[in-house]
Chain A
Amino acid sequence: MSEKGDIEVVVNGKEIQEKLKNRKTYGTKLVDSGGCPALAAEPPPKEDQPIEKPENLEKTELPESE
């Protein structure tokens, strides 16, 4: 703890570069595609997508039973 305040590391670029070394294919978006909108078209990583959970979905109004 410094008297002048901490340096808070939010994103560690060293870790990013390590991951890149092990990447076999393109990334999915603009960076690895060099600005190509077609190459950038690939969907993002599956693991980044939320899984369907009841709390994620909007409540559906059910018709009242007669």
Chain B
Amino acid sequence: MKLSKYNKFVKHNNNDYLLFNSISGSLIKVSNQIKKDIETKNLSEDNFKKLKELGFFKKEEGDERATLRKKYEAKTLNHLNKYMFITVTDRCNLGCHYCFEEKNQWINMSDETVDALIEFSKKFLSATKTDSFGIGWYGGEPTINMKAIKKLSSFYKDFCEKNDIHFSQMIISNGTTFNESVCETLINLGIKKAQITVDGIKEDHDKSRPYLKDLTLDQMSPAQRSQAQKLNPSLSLNVINNEKPKENLITKSCFDEIIKGIEKYVQKGGEVSLRMNVNSKTIEKTTQLLDDLHKRKLFYRNENGGFLYAYAQPIYDIGSCGNNNYESSGCGSCPSKTTTEDPVTVNSMKVSEFAEKVHIIKDWYKSKGIKWFDHSNEMHFTGDTCTANKKYEYVVNPDGTLTKCTHDVGKPEKVIGSVFDDNVNPDDMNIPNTSYDRFNPFDDKECFGCEVLPICMGGCKSNNNAGEAKEYEAGCSTIKYSYEEDIIRLYESSKS
């Protein structure tokens, strides 16, 4: 027997060590002496057997990474669990300066496209055995096209029931449209899970994530002006630059509207994953936001099962810089990030910087006795990867074209097919013309040697530009930079 390559000792206190294995997810606490015995394999038969069962020892022959690779590659071809992001519109009512979407179609998914998607889905779900099917409703702002969501969701629910397929759905929304009627409809359709985003406290959010129609041109950052042009292509930069400031039209706070919408949805039984976009300045203030949400009692599961959970993500600005060398990895990792005037972008973070500061939020959760839920709760190997590398997962664009990543909505060069293509065979359709095909973390020198590979499986394939932009960090999981701390947190949360 030999020790697993994915064992990690972390000193816990003066006398004890934690030993974690990132494949099995096993965590043990041992004395300094036992640590030495493990390292020298000087163990009793019982302890040897115990540690082997927990995954800390492997058979002498063979390379465990070859086994992982085999399982990873099998997962990319797994047809039992299928998934689609359905972009029912690329229209949006907000003008976030860092938005990565091209918004070049600027259409709602039409009735004709909805019908074609239904026919495509029948083939997609029947051509190979399907145990589960998941949908992420996506946009633009998806609630702008509730008509398409209603028709498609009803179809999938009915189809999956008849074919004994476990069906689940969630929505990624900006939350500004969550009025009584929208919340009621979503819940009735079974869309009880939503991701909604705020950019920190009200003051910061309303600056970086505004209703563009409420801003005067002189209030917009250069990036927001660029967004304004997408929202209204007839605007020209010359006109913008020469236009006199208009009267301030701000009538309502985007932040307040979102919080009101969240409260309605949660009260009806909605489960909200609140994404708090942060930069190096605003992350310090997230506890104010968390305190506010806590006072509103949103963290506690109510009588209808609704609750809110908040987590943080660093902002990567990939829309405004124009420096193509760094486009795919985002301004958060761009050495020339100070070239943009936008204060939020200037303060954006690398993943390693984020990993250093995110303890602020973890500590807040600990102080309130609420379980922190991120990768540290699932620190083990599954072999799963994302839509980009999985054969049976697609992103459907508003015009019916198909791409492999939500980052590629509206990018013609990333299209791999269409729901209108009569000849398309969903069983055979793979990703022959996308860069994601080139990236296998087990072929990548850096990923192959990384101690968290069993957990992250190479990270975000878009942000690391299919392995070619990894030096800019944006594709890596934060766990790479907080591994020891996460192991200690796993120990503490398991003991509490």
Contact = CB atoms under 8 A, between A and B. Distances in A.
Nearest to A56: B300
A15 B141 CA distance: 40
Nearest to A17: B24
A20 B195 CA distance: 24
B440 interface: no
Contacts of A17: 24-25, 380
Interface in B299-327: 299-302, 305, 307, 309, 313
A49 B310 CA distance: 12
Interface string B12-46: 00000010010111111111011001000000100
Given A24-B131, A41-B273, A46-B271, A7 B378 contact: no
Contact of A38 (B370, B379, B406): B406
Among all A-B residue pairs, the 7 with the closest Cβ atoms: A13-B24, A13-B26, A5-B31, A34-B385, A41-B195, A36-B386, A52-B300
A48 B272 CA distance: 14
A25 interface: yes
A50 B375 contact: no
Contacts of B369: 50, 56
B31 A46 contact: no
A37 interface: yes
Given A8-B30, A50-B370, A34 B458 contact: yes
B114 interface: no
B460 A36 contact: yes
B81 A26 contact: yes
A41 B312 CA distance: 11
B460 to A, nearest CB: 4
A33 B384 contact: yes
Interface of A: 2, 4-14, 16-17, 20, 24-39, 41-44, 46, 48-53, 56-58
18 contacts: A7-B34, A11-B26, A11-B490, A14-B53, A17-B380, A24-B81, A28-B373, A30-B374, A31-B379, A31-B380, A34-B386, A35-B386, A36-B460, A38-B406, A43-B170, A50-B299, A50-B369, A56-B369
Nearest to A14: B53
Nearest to A37: B313
Contacts of B118: none
B385 A46 contact: no
Contact of B378 (A2, A31, A38, A53): A31
Contact of B375 (A20, A24, A26, A30): A30
* Majority secondary structure, A binding face: loop
B387 A13 contact: no
B459 interface: yes
B223 interface: no
Contacts of A32: 378, 382, 384
Given A16-B380, A35-B457, A46-B271, 13 more contacts: A5-B34, A7-B28, A10-B29, A11-B25, A13-B24, A14-B26, A14-B54, A14-B55, A31-B380, A32-B382, A34-B458, A35-B475, A38-B136
A56 B131 CA distance: 39
A25 B406 CA distance: 20
B295 interface: yes
Interface of B: 18, 21, 23-31, 33-34, 37, 44, 47, 50-51, 53-55, 81, 83, 85, 131-132, 134, 136, 138, 166, 168, 170, 172, 193-195, 271-273, 275, 294-295, 297, 299-302, 305, 307, 309, 313, 369-371, 373-375, 377-380, 382, 384-389, 405-406, 455-461, 475-477, 479, 490-491, 494-495
Contacts of B54: 9, 12-14
A6 to B, nearest CB: 8
B85 A26 contact: no
A49 B460 CA distance: 28
A25 B295 CA distance: 33
A57 B26 contact: no
B31 A4 contact: yes
A11 B313 CA distance: 27
A4 B32 CA distance: 9
B277 to A, nearest CB: 11
A16 B405 CA distance: 29
B294 A58 contact: yes
B443 to A, nearest CB: 16
A44 to B, nearest CB: 4
Given A25-B132, A25-B168, A29-B375, A50 B300 contact: yes
Contact of B85 (A6, A14, A38, A52): A38
A53 B370 CA distance: 13
Contacts of A41: 136, 170, 172, 195, 273, 275
A23 to B, nearest CB: 9
